[in-house]
Amino acid sequence: AKVAVLISGRGSNMQALAAHAGAAYRIVVVASDKPEAPGLDWAVQAGLPTFALSPKGIGKQAYESALDAALRAAGAEWIALAGYMRLLSDEFVARWRGRIVNIHPSLLPKYKGLDTHARAIAAGDAEAGCSVHLVTEELDGGKVLGQARVPILPGDTPDALAARVLAEEHRLYPAVLADMVRR
């Protein structure tokens, strides 16, 4: 399957997805809403086609139609969000319905949105984790396709927990994506 990866930042999940590309899926384009995203440099070095465009100055609609056109021109069949920090519009989600997945650093349905690790620690949870889910119009609200769990340890900081969860993200995301696109 042909997959577009959308990033906004460092792109470690993109790298994990790229490392596991093969029979199940290939990355046909890496797109970013932040032209300065460090992950884009990595993608260029890795020889992956890239598309960078900021919505600033052109507006969300123009931005999303250019993004949509770039993904289709690349032949993308699926979209994998990997630290993409912008909400996709209902129209965009509808155009790609059932074909957009995301990785979120919590055990959904717990802790949708930001600051998931600090919230899990503050709540006194015994464990945390990450979820790969289908993207719908509701933020972090689509069907959960797979999860991985880690313990929350005494004295954990949000950064320490984030690192423990991130290692699991890098294992979970490629596996769930490969499984998803094979069906």
State the catalytic residues: 104
With CB atoms as reference, the residue minimizing the distance to ligand GRF is 83
Closest CB 15 distance from ligand GRF, rounded Å = 8
Residue at token pair 């979970």 = 172
Is the N-terminal amide bond of 154 cis, ω within 30° of 0?
no
Pick out residues in 107-136 that bind ligand GRF (CB under 6 A): 130
Q: Does 105 bind ligand GRF (CB under 6 A)?
A: yes
* Most distant CA pair in the chain, distance: 49
Per-residue DSSP letter, 59: -
Distance CA 137, CA 15 (A): 26
# residues near ligand GRF by CB under 6 A: 14
Closest CB 166 distance from ligand GRF, rounded Å = 6
Tell me the residue type at 142. G
Residue at token pair 């889910």 = 133
Distance CA 170, CA 161 (A): 15
Binding site for ligand GRF (CB under 6 A): 7, 9-13, 82-83, 103-105, 130, 166, 169
In the annotated binding site for (6R)-10-formyltetrahydrofolate, the residues are: 60, 85-88, 102
Binding site listing = 11-13, 60, 85-88, 102
